[in-house]
Amino acid sequence: ILEMSKALVEYGVTAFCPTLYPQEHSKFIACISAIKDAMGKEEGAKIFGANLEGPFISREKHGALDPKFMIPVDLEKMKQYNDASGGNISLMTVAPELDNIHELALYCAKQGIVLAAGHSNATYDDMMEAVQAGILHSTHFFNAMRRLHHRDPGVVGAIMIYPNIACEIIADGYHLHAAIVKLLRRVKPIHKIVLITDCLRPTGQKEGKLMANHEEVYLKNGLFIRKDDDTIAGSALTMIRGVKNLVEDMDVPLEDALRMASCNPATVISRQIETGYIMPGRDADIVVFDEDYNIRMTMVRGDIKKIAE
């Protein structure tokens, strides 16, 4: 995790939430604890707590995740996760259609954990009930969630209609068509769109056969593909490349693209009072890049972590 912190500043990242996927319970707890232990020891990008992508998600919409580790909502396990993190879970993906989701939402709200709808087969009504319970964010929009249909708006329809739900987008040109991003900008307030990478740990390596999340994958054209079934396992997108793609391929003004990569995600996890803006009183988290989107300098809390020669 600390190596990730050092590596990410090379790509203009000043803070991140390491993401964990569903796995055997004891390993999951150990990984959560490892994130807690790494916090405060960073030499690069700041760690803003854990991002749990499950395990209370839909087996029907498992995507590249292993469905055998997806479980019903379990408040006792949730408390174990939170205890292992030392109260440092920032974000958690859940399927709003699961039983006891309201009880989970109440607990997480008290703990300051943001719940996001994702890996979900929820109906439109399920999602709107989840909104009432306080689920106002969504994980990698359109991907691994119930599709939009004219007689069944599903999760996607609810997210697009309800202005207060923030949504994450993977702007690599594969996970979302450029036209979908353009459509989203017309229906969602710009401050509710969050740029993410969905990148796996081998990002930045040469194309070919690699190991990611303890399984063999192939990196080709910016995507990690699972060897077993050709499923997309993740992206090799970097944040600065995502900004470039938004501007050059998806007609997003640079100012808006930078908001999606900075103040918008900071606001989702309630970190906007310390970062995400260049303002008096905020951390001096500053990234300088040139006209070709090459990172020239990354500054974290006023300390220069990377500077181009």
Q: Which residues are catalytic?
A: 198
φ, ψ for residue 98 (rounded to 5)?
-70, 150
Q: Do 195 and 239 touch, CB atoms closer than 8 A?
A: yes
Q: Do 258 and 278 touch, CB atoms closer than 8 A?
A: no
Annotate 64-87 with b (16+ C-beta within 10 A) or e (fewer): bbbeebbeebeeebbeebbebbee
